[in-house]
Every structure is written in C-alpha cells, then in structure tokens.
Structure 1
Amino acid sequence: MKKTLKIVIIDDEPYSRDELTFLLNQYEEVEIVGEADSGEKGLEVVMRKEPDVVFIDIEMPQMSGLDLAKALQNMKHVPLIVFATAYADYAVKAFRVQALDYLVKPFDDEQIDEVLKRMKERLSESSKGVDLTAGVGKLAVEDEGRIVYLSPKDIAYLFREDRETMICANERKYSSRTPIKDLEEKLKGYPFFRTHKSYLVNLDKIEELIPWFNGAYQLKVVGQKEEIPVSRNYVKALRERLEL
C-alpha cells in the first residue's frame, strides 16, 4: 500500500524518537520523513519536508514544543500536531494551540492506533475541503483546568463579556478566551446566527422573538432564563432564517 501519512518526530531524547518510530512503522500507511532533536531543527525539518503530522515533545531546551507548535501555525499548510510528552499537566496549553492529540509517555499500541485513526479522519476532512480548525464535530473549551468537548447542538448561545466569551450549554456557562468571531468561524456549518455584535445564537434553540423598542427585539431560547438582544440591523435576516 502507498504511504499516505508523512510524519516528522521532534524530541530531544533519542530513545523516545526511536520508540515512536518503531510503533509508527507498524502501520504501512505511515512514512517517517524526518526527525529532529530540538525545536529549532524541527522547524527547519517541517518547513523542508511539509509533513501531514508532527509529533512534538513539550519540554525541550531553548525552543519548547509549545513554542514550536505556535510557530507552525504560521505555515501556509499547517500540519496536524500531536504532543508526545512525559508530562500530563500541559494538556490545556496544548489545546490552545489546536493540537490534534496529547500522548503521555510511555506510549503503547492502543494510544498510537487511536491517534492514527484521528489523523486519517482529519486529513480525510481536509481533502474534502472541511476546515481542520473546526475539529471533529465538537467545540473544545476549558473548564477548571480540564478540556470539555461540547456538541454544537447542545450550545444555546455565546456572548462576549469583558475579555472572555461565555458559552451557554446544557444549562451551564463555560468561559473561553477565544474571541466570538473565531468561535463563529469554527461553528460554520451549524445553525448559529449573530443577533448582535456580542451574541451568537443557535437557531434551533430559539422559542420566542419578543418586540423590544426602536425596531429591536429580544430572544428567548430553550432552557435559558436570560433574554438575548437582537439588533434591529439583524431582525430581517433572522426572521428570514427562522420562518417558513
């Protein structure tokens, strides 16, 4: 079978690189196209080889794995990133740089098998023109040091408050540092509508449109007590989306 997944491994520990290489080479669809023992060298290898996936250790001297991942986001074709580290407490930071997965050493066959399935799913979506930043159908948000994956259908609305975006889902509120315009982009393809510069609403959750004043309205959504403002500039388009 033709090799389809080009992979680069970046880790300052030779044993860890060898271990990953051995495990990945069990799959005929994988091709290890490069290795590096530092973030700086790794960046050069990735730019030269243009792999599909990069496995990155986090704690490396000078340029850390997180710094490298941020640098890779500036590439024209951003590879999928899998962190492979001995430390479990960097998971939230890994999420912030849109890592596909987070493996904790020592690795095993089950971990590798699962991450390869996710790689192939994401690359298949990419080949069909699906935005990789949209994830695999769930929105990842932080919650008290954990990463919670929310199904878009469970999200009632989002709004901007101070410097955070609040996500209201399943009768709870989650906080995200991601700007609402970026979350709106991630949720493209789902029935979300901008009712106001600070509000994004799931159309499937709307149950009532209430006239307010000066041509503006307010919305009531399922399971939420708060009424959501609808700017008069958005009312016509909203009614067209809602009504048969």
Structure 2
Amino acid sequence: MIKAYLVEDELFAREYLKDSLLESKKVEIAGEADDIEKAIWEIQQLQPEVVFLDIHLAKGNGIELAKQLHSLKKPPFVVFVTAFDEYALTAFELDAVDYILKPFDEKRIEHTLEKIIKWKQLKTNDDRPQPVKEIKPDKSVNKLAVVKDERIIFLDIHNIIYIGTENRQVFVKTVNDKYVIDTLLYEIEQKLDSYSFLRVHRGYIINLEYVNEIEQWFNGTYNLIFSDGSKAPVSRSYIKTVRQCLGF
C-alpha cells in the first residue's frame, strides 16, 4: 500500500481525489489538509510516502510547500494535482513524480500510482547496502538506462543522437528508436559530460558525431541536421560554442 497525504483546499476536489485513490485499492490516506501550515507539520509527523498537492491554495502556494518537503531528511514523493499547466516545468525541477491537470479521471490516477510504485522500488534498491567494488577506470559502462513498456533498457551512449524535450517530457533519440525518460535534462548532461555531447539549446543536448549539416534559421539561429534526417535547434546563446566545436 502507498501511504498518501492530500493537500487541497477545495472540499469537493479533495473528496473526489480521495475516493479515486481509495478506489484503486493501492493507497492508504494518512491525512489531509487545506493549508500549508497544517500540512507541513502533519507530513513531518505522519511521514507519508507521497503527497498529492494542489498549487493554488487559499492559504499559501503548493510550490512553496513542495520546496519545503524537498528539503526534509526523508522527503515524500510529490504529485501535483492542479488546474494550471504553467507550473509544470517548476514542478519537475523539484523532482515531482507527476503533474496531473484537473479535471482528471481514474485512469490518469492509476497511471500515476503505477509510476509511484516503480519509483518506490527504485528507491528501495538504492537504499539497500551494496557491496563495495573497485571500479577500474577502463571498465566504465557506456550505458544510459531508460524505461519502455515497463522494462528498463540500457542504451549504448554512442548510439544516442540527441536528448530533447517535448510536451514537458524528456526523450532520448537513438539511431533506431525514441524513448521517454523521467530524468531531468541537466542530470543527463552531467552523465554525458565525458562523451561527445554538447548542449545547444535549453531543451536539447546533441551528439556531435551525428551532425551532418547545418542550416540557417530565423533571427541568426541554426538547425542541426543529423545523419538520420532528424533536426535539433541551436538557440542564439549557444551559437558561439557550437561554432567552436564544429569549426564553422
């Protein structure tokens, strides 16, 4: 069972969310609140695994509460449930598990619960003590883990053409396929730091090995065209770096 806490100041919305969660048979409601002050105190006492959180509250802002929860010693997972879509980027920067727009249905809630179960399993594995191994520098693993069809797939980093964002999701484009992942773009950039990847746009990291052509775009920007015909934009703030790396 998933131990959950609800933060929602609209009674009808909170009751509907509660009923949807209980209907799944996967959730135990540990508590609920309609304001930040009560919520932060009870969450620290009850230690729920996940907090379902509205953003616009009569007394406070859900984003601010999420920031406080993020700093706890044992932070719960956070799922935003809101009628406003403009905070999605901020939500994922706070490592939110999901961002549900109202009005939602039971299928949407079920999808979120499945995601929480996966994250719980990954967290459990991370928390288990692991045997200490000596990793030799020449034995580095050139893989990036992605999830597809409920399976974890390890992609060869050298086969990745670029990583981008689309519909507020991060995806990996390879030579043969495309994968949506839950990792933030800046975290992937850190993993690829020692490879031939370059940030060319706020939402794109590209593999220089696959760049075949460069086309001029509007306002002095460019598009990079890769060997498979796909494209990625170069924003003006990254043009100097791209010119230096590609020598044009």
Q: Distance in 1 between matches of 2:125 and 2:145?
A: 14
**Structure 2 counterpart of 1:112, one-letter code:** I
Q: Distance in 2 between matches of 1:140 and 1:56?
A: 30
Unaligned ranges ≥5, structure 2: 128-143, 149-161, 179-183, 200-204, 211-225, 233-241
Q: Shift of residue 122 of structure 1?
A: 0.9
**Structure 1 counterpart of 2:45, one-letter code:** R
Q: Where do 1:64-213 residues align within 5 Å?
A: 64-129=61-126, 146-151=167-172, 182-184=187-189, 188=191, 192-194=192-194
Paired residues in the alignment total 180
1:74/1:9 Cα in 2 relative to 1: closer, same or farther (>3 Å)?
same
Q: Distance in 2 between matches of 1:63 and 1:118?
A: 28
1:104/1:193 Cα in 2 relative to 1: closer, same or farther (>3 Å)?
closer
Aligned Cα root-mean-square deviation (Å): 4.0
- Per the normalisation by structure 2, the TM-score is 0.58
Spell out, residue by residue over 1:161-185, the C-alpha distance to the aligned partner (whole angstroms, 9 max, x if none).
xxxxxxxx9xxxxxxxx996x5555
Unaligned ranges ≥5, structure 1: 155-168, 170-177, 208-221, 230-244
* 2:23 counterpart SS class: coil
**Structure 2 counterpart of 1:121, one-letter code:** K
**Structure 2 counterpart of 1:26, one-letter code:** E
Q: Where do 1:16-95 residues align within 5 Å?
A: 16-95=13-92
- Per the normalisation by structure 1, the TM-score is 0.59
Q: Is the 8 A contact 1:137 1:152 kept in 2?
A: no
Q: Distance in 2 between matches of 1:183 and 1:98?
A: 14
Q: Shift of residue 97 of structure 1?
A: 1.7
Q: Is the 8 A contact 2:198 2:208 kept in 1?
A: no
Alignment pair present for 1:6 and 2:20: no
1:69/1:142 Cα in 2 relative to 1: closer, same or farther (>3 Å)?
farther
1:120/1:89 Cα in 2 relative to 1: closer, same or farther (>3 Å)?
same
Aligned match of 1:15? 12
* 2:170 counterpart SS class: strand
* 1:25 counterpart SS class: helix
Q: Distance in 1 between matches of 2:70 and 2:10?
A: 24
Q: Distance in 1 between matches of 2:55 and 2:21?
A: 19
Q: Is the 8 A contact 1:92 1:142 kept in 2?
A: no
Q: Distance in 2 between matches of 1:79 and 1:43?
A: 11
